[in-house]
Amino acid sequence: QVQLVESGGGLVQAGGSLRLSCVASGCTFSSYGMGWLRQTPGKEREFAAAIRCSDAETSYADSVKGRFTISRDHAKNTVYLQMNSLKPEDTAVYYCASYSRRGGWYSTDAREYAYWGQGTQVTVSS
């Protein structure tokens, strides 16, 4: 059983920064790809970024590329999402998720992630 706990959300003005953290427990952390996905009311969860835990290869949605950076710390079993130049349209609940399907290390489809954290709210004011 994988447990994921996010933190670091909050209220920030447009142009500001936040760093989200996701601590994983109950798994062999290096066996998984980890993703950050986000959701706004009435919409499906949207892929934002992912990192392959073995070699830190990353992937980003076009909407966040150049502004967000995903990273991981093996020793702390933690994945981070550094969010810079935030925009009001980045407002969402951000979820950390674990990807463990064979043949890949992430997906843009939220349904393919096996485990989820509880989410952390990010609100960007204009």
| pLDDT per position as a tens digit, 58-76 | 999 999 999 999 999 888 9
E strand intervals along the chain: 3-7, 10-13, 18-25, 33-39, 46-52, 58-60, 68-73, 78-83, 92-99, 115-116, 120-125
Contacts of 55 (CB under 8 A, 6+ apart): none
pLDDT at res. 32: 75
Above 50 in pLDDT, residue 19? yes
Above 80 in pLDDT, residue 18? yes
39 or 104, which is more confident = 39
Burial of 58 (0-12, 13-18, 19+ CB in 10 A): middle
| pLDDT per position as a tens digit, 84-108 | 999 999 999 999 999 988 888 999 9
Share of the chain above pLDDT 70, in %: 95
Question: What is the rounded distance in angstroms from the CA atom of residue 80 to the CA atom of residue 74?
Answer: 11
pLDDT at res. 30: 47
Share of the chain above pLDDT 90, in %: 74
Residue 28 pLDDT grade (very low, low, confident, very high; cuts 50, 70, 90): low
